[in-house]
Structure 1
Amino acid sequence: MTKVVALMSMSLDGFVADPDDGVAEVFDWYFSSGDVEVPTGGADPMTFRVSAPSAGHLRALTAELGAMLTGRRTFEVAHGWGGRHGWGPAFVLTHRVPDGWLRPDSTVHFVTDGLESAVRQAVAAAAGKSVGVHGADTIQQCLNAGLIDEIHVDIAAVLLGSGVRLFDRLAGAPVWLGDPAVTAGVGVTHLRYPVRKA
């Protein structure tokens, strides 16, 4: 059965971006926490340089993903991943398709008819694998709708003090989680929680 999995890096004090939408501090561990290379796919491939535990975590995570779901803000910050997300087809929840983004070779799809439709389309595209959800607002919407099965949070060893919070507007709080799986990396701790269904 396909799982819908929230995926984010955040600071220890709960921020996924600084007040100017900068994400360098919470994503720095991808590029400077070790000497194990983990290449990514997509239109603009990158190579992560992480510790051995983080490399194992990333390889296992990406192997289980079949599609991604994200919001317009994350799409804009990531410059649309050049039209091809490295972790599978990406479904962008938005009110309006951005100009110039209906491209025949792109694996980025825009969903304008709501969250449930976006999740259904991503689940269908995942073909039995997991759907990764990223972007604070999209994760919050999915949690509020009871659509998240697991939360994967990479806690970067940094305190931002302010910015964009990951769990800021939870309508149904408290959200009860199961026991975590914990992987200690260098400069980051990887946490994986099942979400308890009501």
Structure 2
Amino acid sequence: MGKVFTHMTMSLDGFVADPHDRIGELFEWYEAGEVTVPNPNETVEFRVDAAGARALRELTENCGAVVAGRRLFDIADGWGDKHPAGAPVVVVTHRAPEGAAERWPTTTFVSGVEAAITRARGIAGDQDVSLASSTIAQQALDLGLVDEVCVSLVPVLFGEGVPYFTKPAAGHLLLDDPIVVQGRRALHLRYPVRR
């Protein structure tokens, strides 16, 4: 069985978007190099440095399913039913959008984080499950369902916005030492969750 991990690109002060859900300079690292990392979504291009390409491949090549929140799904317009990780998406929502089955046939809509991760694990089989929304990641961390926390840390300060992390429900959450990859415009960090 693969691992469940969360990955977000984050400002140095902990935000994944500004207060209006705009990403600003956060995704500059996806365009900061000469190495193209292919993905199935023709509207998204990754041209990163060699270190960033290695980090990006580690996040996507074994990804069997992505879990996202409804807010991110709506902002991304469902990625046109082709998430850049190349995996089916499970969306946590109480109500699927109108016409969802026709417009996003590879996307599954599930109520509740635990149910979504269970469904994603079923879809992924032996591959990994990636959590792509900060609120979903926090809830999954609180439920003890995350094996690894991944951060692409970008040299920008937002000052306010949508945080990657909020107060853990059970207090401190201890992580193991990071695996560190220094890339251009991002420092890629992977922290196994200590059990």
Pairwise same-fold verdict (TM > 0.5):
yes
Deviation at 1:63, TM superposition (A): 1.1
Q: 2:45 aligns with which of 47, 63, 69?
A: 47
Alignment of 1:69-108 (within 5 A): 69-87=67-85, 88-103=87-102, 106-108=105-107
**Mind listing any 5+ residue stretches in structure 1 that lack a counterpart?**
none
Aligned to 1:67: 65
Identity %: 44
Aligned to 1:13: 13
Question: Is 1:124 aligned with 2:122?
Answer: yes
C-alpha separation between the residues in 2 aligned to 1:184 and 1:10?
15
TM-score w.r.t. structure 1 length?
0.93
C-alpha separation between the residues in 2 aligned to 1:72 and 1:161?
25
Question: Conserved in 1, the CA contact under 8 Å of 2:29 and 2:185?
Answer: yes
C-alpha separation between the residues in 2 aligned to 1:120 and 1:167?
22
Deviation at 1:104, TM superposition (A): 7.2
Amino acid at match of 1:59: R
Aligned to 1:145: 143
C-alpha separation between the residues in 2 aligned to 1:116 and 1:38?
31
* Runs of 4+ in structure 1 over 6 Å off: none
Taking a change above 3 Å as real, the CA distance of residues 118 and 105 of structure 1, as seen in their structure-2 partners, is closer
Deviation at 1:173, TM superposition (A): 2.3
C-alpha separation between the residues in 2 aligned to 1:55 and 1:104?
31
Deviation at 1:105, TM superposition (A): 6.2
C-alpha separation between the residues in 1 aligned to 2:56 and 2:81?
22
Measured against aligned partners, the alpha-carbon deviations of 1:140-191 in whole angstroms (never above 9, x if no partner) come to: 1101111100011100111111000111132122000001000000110000
- Residue aligned with 2:79, SS: helix
- Residue aligned with 2:100, SS: coil
Deviation at 1:24, TM superposition (A): 3.0
Aligned to 2:167: 169
Deviates more, 1:15-24 or 1:79-88: 79-88
Measured against aligned partners, the alpha-carbon deviations of 1:39-91 in whole angstroms (never above 9, x if no partner) come to: 2114x442211111001111122112111001001101111111222320000
Taking only aligned residues, the RMSD between alpha carbons, in angstroms, comes to 1.3
C-alpha separation between the residues in 2 aligned to 1:30 and 1:103?
31
Amino acid at match of 2:92: L
Amino acid at match of 2:28: D
Aligned length: 194
Deviates more, 1:146-155 or 1:60-69: 60-69
